[in-house]
């Protein structure tokens, strides 16, 4: 019996499952503290402060878009390596180490060196997302098909918890920086370093506890050729599955809006006068609300229907975006952060669920490869559009209103897809 077949019949190896899920606990500190909070705060306030608020926001939008675009291009290549060349665990740890090292480097960048900060941040983002490709692929090694939903959910749960706890500690450090004989900026730099160290340290359980399923070894060149061939073949098949094509276009648009709000919330809030302390606490609020809200949205999808629930979430994002453009007080940012937390996890999980019902079951792997490619390319258009319009109009509020186009267009396309439209 092959290793793969035995994996599907044996009971779960709890140590392997927990060790795998702990990597989500590890890297979520980077996502919550660095990517969403402290990197944009330091970029707009320190590294690119001399450029002015609007210009620095535009440049951060461009950097976010470039990072997403590079990751989108690399994802199929890395996926091919993961599927056909083996050594997933080793490659995961390599990318994680690169990402964490670059993250530490961010903390030492001096005032005004925004170009260097941009390069180092992009490297850290590539390390983070590249490692995630191999992390996702290891799921087949730690859980049989029947248990993968449950095991995957455990990873998400530990991720939200770990990222939230780390961010809570960072909030305490920044708010009480005087007690530690640090300036606020010094405290923020310490937060970046500790997030990177958290990432590295909690890679150890995966390194020690995950037993990787053996795969037939294929050369990298052949793996890449086959991977791109599969993507091209799947795209051609979309002509025969119009509901899938329309859904993917809708998903790419509205999830770009979702990711743009996540990535650009801090620079935008900072530019309209929200304090760093309020920004950090609001993002922390989002982190702790998102997980239970995702579970509630799952139940809502069962009662209301998946498409209707996604459209409800899109409607919430439209309201959030409109309110954000006119908000004046810090308390409004807290309300909006809580609202984002309520729908963020739900729109992601229900989108995946609806897509699974539309695609041909016998070609699920191929079609989900395309789905993940689009997901990884999200936040390319939105940050660039938001930043550019803000510069042209010299108004950050007009810039964020541009994101409405993504939600409205995505929702309009989704209305054309029936939930029972599998062909």
Express each pLDDT in 342-371 by its tens digit.
Answer: 888 778 778 877 887 787 766 665 676 677
Distance CA 313, CA 339 (A): 10
∠273-405-374 over CA atoms, to 5°? 100
pLDDT above 90: residue 202: yes
pLDDT value at position 421? 56
Residues in Cβ contact with 216 at an 8 Å cutoff, skipping those fewer than 6 apart: 84
Q: How many residues does the chain have?
A: 423
Residues with Cβ within 8 Å of residue 113, at least 6 apart in sequence: 47
Global confidence as pTM: 0.76
* DSSP annotation string for 288-299: HHHHHHHHHHHH
Query: Where do we find the tokens 């405290």?
Result: 187
Average pLDDT, the chain: 83
Q: Where are the alpha helices (DSSP H) in 47-181?
A: 53-84, 88-106, 114-137, 139-142, 148-175
- What pLDDT is attached to residue 223? 65
The 10 Å Cβ neighbour count of residue 366 is 16
Q: What is the pLDDT of residue 6?
A: 40
The tokens for 139 are 């799921």
- Residue 392 predicted with pLDDT over 90: no
How wide is the angle at C-alpha 279 spanned by C-alphas 186 and 286, nearest 5°? 120
Q: Kindly provide the residue ranges of all beta strands, DSSP E only, lying in 179-264, ordered along the sequence.
A: none
Indicate the helix (H) or strand (E) that contains 375: helix 364-376
Q: Choose between 222 and 195: higher pLDDT.
A: 195
Structure tokens at 142: 């730690």
| Spatial distance between the Cα atoms of 279 and 333, rounded to a whole number of angstroms | 8
End-to-end CA distance of the chain: 35
Phi-psi region of 10 (alpha: psi -120 to 50; beta: other; left: phi over 0): beta
d(C-alpha 67, C-alpha 126), whole Å? 7
pLDDT for position 85: 63
Q: Which residues of 8-23 are buried (b: 16+ CB within 10 A; e: fewer)?
A: eeeebbeebbbbbbbb
Distance CA 69, CA 311 (A): 27
Chain segment 14-42, per-residue pLDDT in tens: 888 899 889 989 998 999 899 988 999 99
Q: Report the alpha-carbon distance of residue 273 to residue 117 in Å, rounded.
A: 23
pLDDT higher than threshold 50 for residue 3: no
Residue 314 has a pLDDT of: 96
Domains of the chain: 10-228 (1.20.1250.20), 241-423 (1.20.1250.20)
Please tell me the predicted confidence (pLDDT) of residue 237. 76
- pLDDT tens, residue by residue, 298-345: 778 778 888 898 999 999 999 999 999 998 888 998 999 999 988 887
Query: What's the confidence (pLDDT) of residue 127?
Result: 93
Beta strands in 221-304, from DSSP E residues, in sequence order: none
Residue 156 has pLDDT above 80, yes or no: no
The more confident residue out of 130 and 249 is 249
Q: What is the DSSP letter of 211?
A: P
């Amino acid at each position: 019996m092959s290793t793969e077949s035995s994996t599907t019949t044996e009971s779960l190896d709890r140590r392997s499952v927990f060790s795998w899920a702990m990597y989500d606990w590890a890297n979520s500190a980077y996502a919550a503290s660095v990517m969403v909070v402290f990197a944009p705060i330091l970029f707009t306030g320190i590294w690119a402060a001399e450029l002015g608020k609007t210009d620095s926001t535009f440049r951060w939008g461009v950097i976010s878009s470039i990072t997403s675009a590079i990751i989108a291009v690399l994802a199929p290549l890395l996926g091919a390596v993961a599927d056909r060349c083996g050594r997933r665990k080793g490659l995961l740890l390599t990318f994680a180490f690169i990402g964490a090292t670059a993250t530490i480097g961010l903390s030492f960048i001096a005032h005004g060196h925004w170009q260097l900060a941009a390069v180092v941040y992009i490297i850290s983002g590539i390390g983070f997302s590249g490692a995630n490709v191999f992390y996702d692929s290891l799921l087949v090694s730690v859980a049989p098909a029947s248990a993968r939903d449950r095991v995957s959910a455990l990873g998400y749960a530990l991720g939200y918890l770990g990222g939230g706890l780390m961010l809570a500690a960072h909030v305490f450090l920044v708010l009480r920086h005087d007690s530690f004989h640090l300036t606020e900026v010094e405290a923020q730099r310490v937060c970046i370093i500790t997030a990177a160290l958290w990432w590295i340290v909690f890679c150890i359980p995966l390194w020690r506890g995950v037993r990787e399923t053996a795969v037939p070894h294929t050369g990298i060149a052949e793996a890449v050729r086959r991977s791109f061939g599969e993507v091209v073949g799947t795209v051609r098949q979309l002509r025969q599955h119009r509901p899938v094509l329309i859904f993917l276009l809708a998903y790419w648009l509205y999830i770009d809006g979702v990711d743009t709000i996540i990535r650009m919330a801090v620079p935008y809030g900072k530019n309209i006068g929200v304090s760093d302390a309020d920004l950090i606490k609001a993002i922390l609020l989002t982190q702790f609300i998102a997980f239970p809200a995702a579970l509630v949205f799952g139940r809502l999808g069962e009662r209301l229907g998946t498409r209707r629930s996604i459209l409800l979430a899109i409607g919430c994002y439209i309201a959030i975006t409109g309110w954000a453009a006119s908000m004046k007080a810090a308390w409004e940012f807290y309300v909006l952060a809580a609202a984002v937390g309520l729908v963020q996890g739900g729109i992601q999980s229900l989108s995946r669920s609806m897509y699974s019902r539309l695609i041909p079951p016998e070609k699920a792997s191929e079609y989900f490869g395309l789905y993940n490619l689009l997901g990884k390319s999200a936040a390319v258009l939105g940050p660039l559009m938001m930043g550019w319009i803000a510069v042209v109009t010299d108004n950050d509020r007009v810039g964020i209103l541009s994101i409405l186009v993504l939600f409205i267009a995505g929702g309009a396309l989704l209305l054309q897809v029936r939930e029972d439209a599998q062909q």
